[in-house]
A = this chain, B = another copy of it.
C-alpha cells in the first residue's frame, strides 16, 4: 500500500466530520476529492479551497480514487458499500468513519476482492453539525478507533493509522464488536439518558413553567447530548441494539439500587460516594491521558 502522500483520497459526505477531515488532510495526500449530494454543501466545500474536485456523485471521481473515506451517517455508509458490491475497477481501499461498526464491517465483508475495507471511528465531534462548522483541529487529540476485518490488508491498517496521525488523532485498533459494546456505554447510553431527560423536562415544564426558573447548569450539561442530530443518532442506535440494551440494563441496575436505598441514608451515601469516586477516577485518567 502506498503512503498517504501518494494516495488519492475521496471523502464522501461533507458534513462536520467529512469537512473537518478534509481541512485536516489538506496538503497531506496526492489528491483530495469531496462528494456530497447537497448543492449548498458542495458550494461551501468548494469555498474551503482544499478539494481538488467537489462532485455530486461518487461515480464522477471514483476512477481517480485510491482511498475512499465514507463520512455519512451509518445507514448511508451501508448503502454506499452495497453500491460497491459490483465494483469492477482497479484496487480500491475504503475507510469509513461511522459511529457504529458491526453492520458496516459486515457490509465490507461482502465487497469484491479488489476492494480492501477498514472500519474507523474518530471519537470527536461538537454540538453543531454541518460543513459550516468544520474545523481543521476537530480530530486533534481524539482517539481514532480502527476496526479491521479478517480480510483487511496490513497495508490498509497502516494507511488508516497514518491518516489518523496526520489529522492529529491517536489510532487504536480493536474489533468492531468490542468497539460497539464499549461505545454503547461511553456514548449511546449517555445520549439516551440525555434525550429521555430532555423529553421528561419538556412535558413537566409544559404543565408548570416554574420548571424553567429552577433549571441550571446541572440540567444543561446532563442534557447536552440531546441536542445531537436525530438522523445520526437513530442510525447509531438502530445499528447497535443489543449492546445498547445491555448497557441500559446495567445502568438501570445501578439506578434501581440507589432508589431502593432512598429509605436508608447511610447505604445510599455509600453508593453515591462510589459514583463520585468513579467520576473523579475518570477525570484523573483523562488528565493523565492528555498529559
Contacts and interface: CB of A to CB of B under 8 A. Distances in A.
Contact of A178 (B183, B208, B281, B286): B208
A139 B202 CA distance: 26
A49 interface: no
A61 B191 CA distance: 50
Contacts of A229: 276
A194 B194 CA distance: 10
Contact of A247 (B200, B216, B274): B200
Nearest to A279: B226
A41 interface: no
Interface stretch (A22-30, A63-71, A217-225): A217-225
A15 to B, nearest CB: 16
A16 to B, nearest CB: 14
Interface stretch (A3-11, A81-89, A154-162, A265-273): A265-273
A255 interface: yes
A114 to B, nearest CB: 32
A72 to B, nearest CB: 15
A282 B223 contact: yes
A283 B201 CA distance: 13
Nearest to A195: B275
A244 B263 CA distance: 12
B196 A230 contact: no
A153 interface: no
B265 A199 contact: no
Interface stretch (A50-58, A104-112, A231-239): A231-239
Interface in A180-211: 181-183, 185-187, 189-204, 208, 210-211
A132 interface: no
Contacts of A222: 190, 193-194, 221-222, 224-225
A275 B199 contact: yes
Contacts of A281: 202
A149 interface: no
A194 B196 CA distance: 13
A214 B179 contact: yes
A214 B186 contact: yes
Nearest to A224: B221
Contact of A259 (B124, B245, B258): B245
B197 A189 contact: yes
Given A222-B225, A230-B269, A174 B212 contact: no
Question: 9 tightest A-B contacts by CB?
Answer: A230-B272, A202-B278, A195-B275, A190-B222, A196-B255, A196-B254, A226-B279, A186-B215, A234-B269
10 contacts: A172-B210, A186-B216, A195-B271, A199-B274, A215-B286, A226-B279, A229-B276, A231-B269, A234-B265, A241-B262
